Amino acid sequence: MKRSDVYQDERYIAMNPFVALQPQDVGETRIVRTWTDTNGFKHEFIIEAPRIAGEYAEQVFIALLYFTYQQREKGHDLPSCVTVNQSDLFNIMHWPSTGRYSSRLKDSLDYYMSVKITTNTYRQRRELRVLSTHVLAGYEIYTQGRRKRVRWEWAPDFLAQIQEGDHLYSNVNDYFSLSTPTSRRCFRLLQALTIPGGKPYVADLKHFAEIRMGMGSTRVFAHVARRLENALEELRAKKLGIGFITENPERIILARYPKDSAETLSIFAELPDRIKNQLPPPRLPGLAGQYEQREQVSRLILEIPVILKDG
């Protein structure tokens, strides 16, 4: 039986956000992100729309993914057209049933009709895919009896990316339990950039903030660290992830919340030497000493601040 709290995401869609963290200026209609990978390949991700949508549109997108996956029949592809009660959409997003939020839903759906994504960084079956697509091909909000209903149709190429790309399965309740757009974006990226039981994601802070988080230009370390600090603390408090930002070099360390000592040690290995040196030597010999040290490591990574400045 399909779990009622799971939705299907796609790794390369999650890694390249097409919604801003907050509402953008009316005049901002085009965002271009470019980066070169370790093989020298230049990636390009372009977003074009009459106005770049903010935080509410991303919540709507996750809700659309959730209900699309929940309506997939066993052994079949994801449905291209989905219809649900508007109240069910609002409930999963923890939205009140008010006219203000009804307008936010409509604005978000309008955005997904209008936004155009042009990229050479999506992958299907491990091969790069050049793609130019909208997110939705159509939608309708209508009244049926006493209920408002919402029907949407995915754009064919976008649905193909969700269907044939690198699947992720995430918990919708975990996503919507987080309190800020930054926390929710970090959680989604964490799912895309790491694997269960795998090593932490370690990257240049500027690349993570600008390309992955979509924060725009980030030149001052303190400003970027401050914007990410509460999100990393919330992920740790809710046992959804562990994250640290180091000052020299400026980088981010992001990992799923460790379930065993091996995962804890892989996170610890990426921390600066001055943090590692805080670990006292084991008092006991042999295997007992190894166990003791692993326990100390587990406590340490939960106690140290998420922003690891020099000095």
Residue-level pLDDT, tens digit, the chain, 311 residues: 457 899 999 999 999 999 988 765 556 789 999 999 888 999 999 999 998 898 899 999 999 999 999 999 888 899 999 999 999 999 999 999 999 999 999 999 999 999 999 999 998 878 888 999 999 999 999 999 999 999 999 999 999 999 999 999 999 999 999 999 999 999 999 999 999 888 999 999 999 999 999 887 777 888 889 999 999 999 999 999 999 999 988 999 999 999 888 889 899 999 998 888 887 777 767 777 677 778 888 888 899 999 998 75
What is the C-alpha separation between 90 and 105, in angstroms, rounded? 9
What is the C-alpha separation between 41 and 66, in angstroms, rounded? 33
Please tell me whether residues 89 and 51 are part of one structural domain.
yes
| Dihedral angle over CA of 173, 176, 177, 179, nearest 10 | 170
Strand 307-308 and strand 241-246: the pairing is: parallel
Last residue of a domain, one of 140, 159, 177: 177
Residue 2 pLDDT: 59
Please tell me whether residues 165 and 196 are part of one structural domain.
no
Alpha-helical (H) ranges within the chain are 11-14, 55-70, 86-93, 99-114, 156-164, 172-177, 181-193, 205-207, 221-237, 261-268, 273-276, 286-303
Please tell me whether residues 66 and 187 are part of one structural domain.
no
97 burial type by CB count under 10 A (0-12 exposed, 13-18 middle, 19+ buried): exposed
Please tell me whether residues 183 and 307 are part of one structural domain.
yes
What is the C-alpha separation between 72 and 162, in angstroms, rounded? 13
Q: Which two tokens stand for residue 198?
A: 């795998």
Q: Residue written as tokens 């009709």?
A: 113
Please tell me whether residues 161 and 219 are part of one structural domain.
no
Residue 199 lies in a domain: yes
Q: Residue written as tokens 């690198």?
A: 166
Residue 24 pLDDT: 58
Please tell me whether residues 151 and 70 are part of one structural domain.
yes
For residue 143, give the H/E element and its range. strand 136-144
16 — phi, psi (to 5°)? Answer: -130, 80
- Are the C-beta atoms of residues 46 and 32 closer than 8 Å to each other? yes
How many residues comprise the chain? 311
249 burial type by CB count under 10 A (0-12 exposed, 13-18 middle, 19+ buried): exposed
Last residue of a domain, one of 147, 177, 207: 177
Into how many domains does the chain fold?
Answer: 2
Q: Residue written as tokens 């106690």?
A: 303
Residue 248 lies in a domain: yes
Q: Residue written as tokens 């709290």?
A: 5
Please tell me whether residues 25 and 169 are part of one structural domain.
yes
User: What residues contact 268, with CB distance under 8 A and at least 6 apart?
Assistant: 276, 297, 300, 301
Please tell me whether residues 206 and 95 are part of one structural domain.
no
- Are the C-beta atoms of residues 84 and 149 closer than 8 Å to each other? yes
Please tell me whether residues 93 and 52 are part of one structural domain.
yes
Residue 280 pLDDT: 74
248 burial type by CB count under 10 A (0-12 exposed, 13-18 middle, 19+ buried): exposed
Please tell me whether residues 13 and 139 are part of one structural domain.
yes
Residue 1 pLDDT: 41
Domain range enclosing 144: 6-177
pTM: 0.92
Please tell me whether residues 98 and 183 are part of one structural domain.
no
Last residue of a domain, one of 150, 177, 204: 177
Please tell me whether residues 130 and 258 are part of one structural domain.
no
Residue 1 lies in a domain: no
Residue 237 lies in a domain: yes
Residue 130 pLDDT: 92
Q: 139 forms bridges with which residues in the sheet?
A: 152
204 DSSP assignment: E
